[in-house]
Amino acid sequence: MDNGGKPGAVIYLPPGDYNLRTQVVIDISFLRIQGAGHGFTSSSIRFNVPREEWPDLHELWPGGSRIINVIPVDPNGEEARGAAFYIERSGSPRISSVEFANFCIDGLHFVPDGSELDPENTYVNGKTGIFVATPNDSFRINGMGFVYLENALTINNADALSIHDNFIAECGSCIEPARVGTGLKDHRQPDRGRLQGPLDLRTEPWRTLDYCQQRLSPGSEQCAPRGCIAVKRQQQPPSFVLSRDGGLGGQQFRKFGGH
């Protein structure tokens, strides 16, 4: 009690490409991992133009501070095994104040899924950007880039979570907050940040869902809050305020939101 607290740490990623071959496991609070830029650019554009045109493209790959998820995974295996960053801590208190800011997590390639699609268009590779497994408080994911991941963000049992001003696109699933504790708050300014993928936002049951002018791009399910009993659109932030459904049933809401 007399020796002060545990202040945590800051890990800085200078601009550059970093091949991540083993999973980063986080089990301490007050940790900030930050880079020198989100580095997002479309990988789909590259993979959907003839290869002979690649020399004429100004950029071929995302930039900034770029973590390339090359962890060997089974695309049909457990999602958590393919996460670049895996956060888990049991006991009390729950892990708190972990921040990710200003760098890119890139899944690099998609893989064949048994269909006739070009493998680079399947949105399947078993790769996840950030996976939070255990109860957590006051996490921030701000100013990030996520691209070519099957799952960008999966966060379980969150309280006071801020996901703000990110570029999350060309991912199979963009944001999946599941089994929320007392609530989730996403303070995103209107039209700041971008979600794009077959499934942009998927939520587990909450009593209410409020959102504002977040840009949701076309996909099979732009926003699929399962079990919500109310959906309200607001013109000003906060853009997402989610509270857990206290056992009340509700209708499913799908394919809402705008550009």
pTM attached to this predicted model: 0.74
Domain presence at residue 88: yes
Is 246 part of any domain? no
Residue-number span of the structural domain to which 133 is assigned: 9-182
Q: Report if residue 207 sits inside a domain.
A: no
The angle subtended at Cα 204 by Cα 68 and Cα 24, nearest 5°, is: 25
Pairing of strands 206-211, 240-244: antiparallel
Domain of 154: which CATH number?
Answer: 2.160.20.10
Query: Is 20 inside any structural domain?
Result: yes
Evaluate the omega torsion of the peptide bond into residue 238 and state whether it is cis, within 30 degrees of 0: yes
Q: Is residue 253 included in any domain, yes or no? A: no
pLDDT value of position 58: 86
Mean pLDDT value across residues 90-101: 95
Q: What percent of the chain has pLDDT over 70?
A: 67
Whether pLDDT at 161 is above 90:
no
Range scoring the smallest mean pLDDT among 19-33, 57-71, 184-198: 184-198
219 pLDDT band, cuts 50/70/90, is very low
Q: What is the domain count for the chain?
A: 1
- The pLDDT value recorded for residue 41 is 86
For residue 86, tell me if it sits in a domain: yes
- Take residue 193 and report the two structure tokens written for it: 């940040």
Q: How far apart are CA 5 and CA 35, in angstroms?
A: 26
Is residue 47 situated within a structural domain?
A: yes
